[in-house]
């Protein structure tokens, strides 16, 4: 799968997306992640990409014509363009599962006081990371690409890893343990040492349901409503 990110701060994006699992996936050719400086499409010698807002007000607004040129250079018939925006739909694991079905994903990072509102006509959707304010869209873009890329076949190595994780099926992940067997009086649950796979799977399902019910009642309600389980 191919990803392209349009940003004013490429260094905020390149390092995390070039590290760890995604770095190895890129080297293996499983994903292709491009990071592009929007200033490269500015036409004046100072590479200005923003201007004062019409009607007055604080801050600066990114120019839509410059972002449009960048999009036109990258977009193909296979592209799905996402704008980072607090007005967008809330990003979730389910959204990531929808996005991974596209061959090419372009993420446009807002900055300053945002991008001229006419950008909305040039993107396929707007996504929000949550109800809080960031200095720019770069952190959200990294989160989107990371969450989607790890669903690409082969990226995690073990396909079962993505299936077992939190939010897959609306449940939080069950608790995990490793050595040492005893730590400060806390023992690893006996069932995990039993070697009885059916009992282990049953215990993990019970723990996932319990954790979700206690810690995320919103997810638990969704799980119950969709599966008819747990009540």
SS3 of 117, please?
A: helix
pLDDT tens, N- to C-terminus, the chain (231 residues) = 999 999 999 999 999 999 999 999 999 999 999 999 999 999 999 999 999 999 999 999 999 999 999 999 999 999 999 999 999 999 999 999 999 999 999 999 998 789 999 999 999 999 999 999 899 999 999 999 999 999 999 999 876 566 566 666 789 999 999 999 999 999 999 999 999 999 999 999 999 999 999 999 999 999 999 887 654
The model carries a pTM of 0.88
- 50 bridge partner residues: 62
Judge whether 17 and 145 are in contact, CB under 8 Å: yes
Domain regions of the chain by residue span = 2-149, 166-227
- How far is residue 76 CA from its own chain's centroid? 22
Pairing of strands 186-187, 182-183: antiparallel
Size of the chain, expressed as the number of residues it contains: 231
The architecture (CATH level 2) of 2-149 comes to 3-Layer(aba) Sandwich (3.40)
Between CA 169 and CA 199 the distance in angstroms is: 21
pLDDT at 210: 97
CATH node for 166-227: 1.10.1270.20
Between CA 204 and CA 217 the distance in angstroms is: 18
Helices 197-215 + 217-227 axis angle, to 10: 120
SS3 of 118, please?
A: helix
- Alpha helical stretches, state H, the chain: 11-17, 20-27, 64-74, 93-99, 138-149, 159-164, 197-215, 217-227
């Amino acid at each position: 799968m191919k990803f392209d990110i349009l940003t004013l701060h490429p260094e905020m994006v390149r390092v995390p997306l070039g590290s760890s699992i995604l770095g190895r996936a890129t080297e293996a050719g499983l994903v292709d992640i491009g990071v592009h400086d929007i200033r490269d499409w500015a036409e004046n010698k100072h590479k200005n990409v923003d201007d004062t807002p019409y009607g007055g007000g604080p801050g600066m607004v990114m120019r839509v014509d410059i972002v449009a040129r960048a999009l036109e250079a990258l977009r193909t018939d296979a592209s799905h363009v996402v704008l980072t925006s607090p007005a967008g739909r809330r990003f979730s694991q389910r959204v990531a599962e929808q996005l991974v079905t596209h061959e090419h994903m372009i993420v446009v990072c807002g900055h300053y006081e945002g991008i001229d509102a006419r950008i909305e006509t040039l993107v396929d959707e707007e996504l929000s990371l949550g109800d809080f304010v960031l200095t720019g869209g770069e952190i959200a873009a990294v989160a989107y690409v990371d969450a989607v890329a790890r669903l690409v076949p082969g990226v995690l190595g073990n396909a079962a890893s993505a299936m077992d994780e939190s939010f897959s099926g609306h449940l939080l992940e069950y608790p995990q343990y490793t050595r040492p067997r005893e730590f400060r009086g806390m023992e690893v649950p006996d069932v995990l040492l039993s070697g009885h796979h059916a009992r282990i799977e049953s215990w993990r399902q019970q723990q996932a349901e319990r954790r979700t019910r206690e810690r995320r009642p919103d997810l638990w309600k969704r799980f119950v409503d969709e599966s008819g389980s747990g009540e």
